[in-house]
Amino acid sequence: MSLSQWKIPKGAQPKPEDCAFDLDAALGAVMTLSASVPKDAFTADTLGTERAGNAVLIGRDGVVATIGYLVMEAEAVWLTMNDGRVMQGDVIAIDAESGIGLVQLLGRVDVPPLPLGSSARATVGDRVVVAGAGGRQRSVSARIVAKQEFAGYWEYLLDEAIFTSPAHPHWGGTALIGGTGELLGIGSLQLQQDRDRDQNLNMIVPVDLLSKALGGLLSGASLKEPARPWLGLYATEVDGNVVVAGLADGGPADKAGLQVGDVLVSAAGSAVANLAGLYRGVWSLGHAGVPVPLRLNRSGQGMEVTVVSTDRARLLKKRALH
């Protein structure tokens, strides 16, 4: 079977009779997204130069929502509708805090958009559809299994992410559709459930964050300005410690001399207990550009380093205007 012919197992596909809305009409708003990124882009090595996923139409004027990493630094974006039509898209903006991106379709759209729902009202146990481009055969009937904090190693934090199971195998940019046919979130990751290593989950960015940032995104910037301070480090939790697992080449932490394996003991004088605490401590210092004093443990030796933070967006390649 070719990649273009893959299907979700029939038993896991959503069924119209189980939905209190027009399932096929809702799925028609979900489309395939492909993006091309220059080889010299800041994120090219980590995210690749050819990216593919899903996106969902949220406005009658052709505004489409997706997960931001798919279109970050993209020089070309193409969207394929379920009927095979292909349209070019133009990245409007990416909200760094939520991770959601917006794309403007450059063509006439004649399918109904998905209305924005309320992710705050969704509860654990609710039946949902995790929708990928391609209709029922590429969508998953799922349930919300958790709503909780999520901290990502790339300096990313959601106060309350949505987790669904079973997982969609092509999760990036999927549409989380609630019981009344409204968009509840945008698919971001696939994770393994700790208590059952064979059970995968999808992590979904709540749509309420999109609603909150929508005005700023449409104007070409995040709603919250100026940007949060960014250190350019990738960290993980190991045996109760927060450890540097990687560094962004040329980023602030790299320039300050941090090394892989360094244990972060404190930030701005406050003990670092976990990733969420580290991020909140750094962000509480002020805006991008603020110096961030860190205390480290390197090979058993304590040391202090000050990292001059920056706005990550300044390092990203800007799309050339013609």
Q: What is the 3-state secondary structure (H, E, C) of 113-139?
A: CCCECCHHHCCCCCEEEEECCCHHHHE
pLDDT band at 3 (very low <50, low <70, confident <90, very high): very low
Q: Which of 129, 137, 138, 132 is nearest to 179 (CA)?
A: 129
Q: What is the mean pLDDT of residues 113-123?
A: 97
Amino acid at 269: G
**CATH number, span 119-214:** 2.40.10.10
Which residue spans of the chain are classified as CATH 2.30.42.10?
233-315
pLDDT of residue 223: 46
pLDDT band at 149 (very low <50, low <70, confident <90, very high): very high
pLDDT of residue 249: 93
Q: Which residue reads 């063509």 in tokens?
A: 107
Q: What is the mean pLDDT of residues 183-194?
A: 91
**Would you call 161 helix, strand, or coil by DSSP?**
strand
Which residue spans of the chain are classified as CATH 2.40.10.120?
20-113
Cα separation, 310 vs 281, whole angstroms: 15
pLDDT of residue 279: 97
**Percent of the chain whose predicted confidence (pLDDT) is above 70:** 93
Which pLDDT tens digit goes with each residue over 225-267? 679 999 999 999 999 999 999 999 999 999 999 999 999 999 9
Rg (CA), the chain: 20
Q: From 1.20.1440.230, 3.90.1420.10, 2.30.42.10, 3.30.70.890, which CATH number describes the 233-315 domain?
A: 2.30.42.10
Specify the pTM: 0.93
Which residue spans of the chain are classified as CATH 2.40.10.10?
119-214
Q: Which residue reads 């899903």 in tokens?
A: 54
Q: Which of 317, 321, 322 is nearest to 71 (CA)?
A: 317
Does 2.40.10.120 match the CATH number of domain 20-113? Answer: yes
pLDDT of residue 213: 75
Q: Which residue has the higher pLDDT, 214 or 49?
A: 49
Q: Is the dihedral of CA 189, 19, 9, 194 positive or negative?
A: positive
pLDDT band at 212 (very low <50, low <70, confident <90, very high): confident
Share the mean pLDDT of the chain. Answer: 92
